[in-house]
Amino acid sequence: MKKPNEIRIGNVKAVVFKDQYNQINVKFEKIYKDKKDNWKSTPYFKKKELLLLSQVAKKTFLES
């Protein structure tokens, strides 16, 4: 497997990688800091964040 590539806009990130069958796979996540100032990530998005998620998805599609 090839090293994953990351595409990020703001706090939304896509991790792009090829599997053993050479197919492209993408994992989307939102990154944030918790109350103790530690970095965390989640696969969940609020409705107001979906436009940014779609921009990351479009950029991922065009660059992969």
For 7-52, what is each residue's pLDDT tens digit? 999 999 999 999 899 899 999 999 999 999 999 999 999 999 999 9
Sheet order of strands, 24-33 included = 5-9, 12-18, 24-33, 39-42
CA distance 21 to 1: 9
33 bridge partner residues? 39
**pTM for the structure as a whole:** 0.85
Q: Where are the alpha helices (DSSP H) in 1-49?
A: none
Which one has a higher pLDDT value, 18 or 53? 53
Q: Is residue 38 part of a domain?
A: yes
Q: Is residue 31 part of a domain?
A: yes
Q: How many domains does the chain have?
A: 1
In the chain, the amino acid numbered 8 is R
Q: Is residue 9 part of a domain?
A: yes
Residue ranges making up the domain that contains 40 = 5-49
Q: How many C-beta atoms surround the C-beta of residue 15 within 10 A?
A: 16
